[in-house]
Structure 1
């Protein structure tokens, strides 16, 4: 705790935390949004799911850290390089879970949409996303944890910034107390982010009444 207090006092820990959060957050936004869009497409269209199944299964097992050399050549050091790798890593779980969630939407809701003659955009925002929201939030929770892990890993291996680089410099300086402080801080940060998302999930899902709202509109 003394090491954490010292790192907080001199501002190093907060600076490195901000660097990690920015890189992880940018990559998470790219990965989650693209994964959600792809999951919607694959969940709504079985033909697209069958057509794209083999390329997805070919690329999905690829370790995200294996892209570090390529990303460094494309972007150099910094946020762009790190966020590109985080985006690749978080894209796949969101894609797979979003596809499963969308494909599992109650068919009766789609029948109501047919009765109401809803367009594509209306179906997405009034039916698919609200009905699949619980599983989509689970996907987002998984992606947030993965984004933090990948960001710290990239910083340890290649990117001289953030909490991962703080671990490396503490090791080089033979300061095990600082290393443990960084490890504890990363775990605490992950716990706080997950707790915040759980709180958002409770409030969001409490306000969702997809079936009742559509039933009332159908009347």
Structure 2
């Protein structure tokens, strides 16, 4: 139906391309290597930014969730910085880091940090006090306490945070590349638009959507695998999601 509409009603528009033309353009981009180069840069940036945000967010969120005093001290800072749109940091990040990977990483990490922090804090608050008392009676170190008791208890909600972070990281990475960074899938999308090549532009939109779908499916599989390894019931992990 879309193919027929694009070849009839939309044939007079320079902004519309039939799906068949988009698939041909996607195949050509794959053959000349531009598809894989841009995809690798965007996914690499999103993964590194998410990794930075996850490490910081889980550590800080756990501290805030387990320590009401620290949560009170940092409440104002969190509530002031958390609503700041990540794209508003693009000019500042460009001034600090210039164009390239570091600028994109800074914006992605900032965008992913806050939801991971908030969800981790909520998960840490719901850890059973009896578990912490057991850890204290066993005289476990801070790392042992976190790895053996706190992390398994928080794992279902942590995966909700990480799955949310994955989606945010990809969206922000493409947005930064559209707005400021001359690399990756977002920049390729802009170049196709500026070149008045609607087939290639639609091909990139299709590819970005497909990448997002695959990443989410892999995150679900990873959640089930990690829950099994950590001894968490799969039903509990699914329920938290």
TM-score range relative to shorter protein: over 0.9
Is residue 22–residue 79 contact of structure 1 (8 Å, CA) maintained in 2? no
* Counterpart among 8, 16, 23 of residue 38 in structure 2: 16
**Mapping of residues 110-189 of structure 1, within 5 Å:** 110-189=132-211
Bigger drift between 186-195 and 142-151 goes to 186-195
Unmatched segments (≥5 aa) in structure 2: 1-22, 234-241
* Counterpart among 50, 62, 65 of residue 40 in structure 1: 62
Alpha-carbon separation, structure 1, partners of 2:136 and 2:231: 19
Matched with 1:59 is: 81
Matched with 2:27 is: 5
Bigger drift between 83-92 and 20-29 goes to 20-29
Report how far residue 191 of structure 1 moved.
Answer: 1.3
Compute the RMSD of aligned alpha carbons: 1.4
Is residue 42–residue 49 contact of structure 1 (8 Å, CA) maintained in 2? yes
Alpha-carbon separation, structure 2, partners of 1:200 and 1:154: 27
Unmatched segments (≥5 aa) in structure 1: 212-219
**Mapping of residues 192-203 of structure 1, within 5 Å:** 192-203=214-225
**Mapping of residues 34-113 of structure 1, within 5 Å:** 34-113=56-135
The answer as to 2:219 corresponding to 1:206 is no
Is residue 82–residue 151 contact of structure 1 (8 Å, CA) maintained in 2? yes
> How far does the alpha carbon of each residue in 1:66-96 deviate from its partner, in whole angstroms, 9 at most, with x for none?
1111111111111000011001001101100
Matched with 1:26 is: 48
Q: Cα–Cα, structure 1 residues 127 and 210, in superposed 2: closer, same or farther, change >3 Å?
A: farther
Alpha-carbon separation, structure 2, partners of 1:71 and 1:163: 20
TM-score, scaled relative to structure 2 = 0.84
Is residue 127–residue 210 contact of structure 1 (8 Å, CA) maintained in 2? no
TM-score, scaled relative to structure 1 = 0.92
Report how far residue 107 of structure 1 moved.
Answer: 2.2
Alpha-carbon separation, structure 2, partners of 1:210 and 1:89: 29
